[in-house]
Chains A and B, each alone.
Chain A
């Protein structure tokens, strides 16, 4: 079974621009979570989507948003980019069958975003 895929792998943007990152979960997985990884703050939870609905949201400004499609693929968008948004953005998928929290999250390779 193919793993979690993320595109693009690398991205360079300038301040003020917006960016969209994509995540395709493992086949059959219905939940997609996004994390931001930076050297200073470590790994922080952004949000989780399940069945096209945002289930949970981390403590990030409204410039960070996301969505999930009917095939479980997810996108996250960051508007009005700031230098501090430079990070590795990781996507993770899990089954989330029946709405329980008993399954494991499997991660994609990440998208490295650099904001100049």
Chain B
């Protein structure tokens, strides 16, 4: 079974600074997808960024980028120029790329606070 681990329950960053959120996963699959979702106090789960395992290039979305290390099964999220609106819970998630089972497996999440 696939597992996703987010070992840091909380992190804090100064506004305008950069922060990196860690995630590791375990799978025997070679093809899969990884996601970072953001859940603000409103509880709406918002997709931040997605990475296909077959792509060596790290995904980027504006101020958000990932460091995908397939051999190490590591998938960290870097937030540059942090803003107050980035304060939220962040979840790392895994999904198989093949087969009918498309369920997302989530980590426990990390609470990010942004200091003004």
Asked if A58 contacts B103 (CB within 8 A), the reply is yes
Does any Cβ of A come within 8 Å of B11's Cβ?
A: no
* Docked complex Cα distance between A48 and B101 (Å): 9
Asked if A104 contacts B102 (CB within 8 A), the reply is no
Asked if B47 contacts A106 (CB within 8 A), the reply is yes
A101 and B44 contact, Cβ closer than 8 Å, known pairs A42-B108, A42-B109, A43-B91: no
* Docked complex Cα distance between A105 and B46 (Å): 10
Interface size on A, residues (CB 8 A): 26
Asked if A90 contacts B98 (CB within 8 A), the reply is no
Question: Chain A binding site: helix, strand, loop or mixed by DSSP?
Answer: strand
A101 and B95 contact, Cβ closer than 8 Å, known pairs A96-B102, A107-B45: yes
Which A residue's beta carbon lies closest to that of B96? A101
Does any Cβ of B come within 8 Å of A45's Cβ?
A: yes
* Docked complex Cα distance between A105 and B43 (Å): 16
Interface residues of B (CB under 8 A from A): 33, 35, 37, 42-47, 50, 91, 95-109
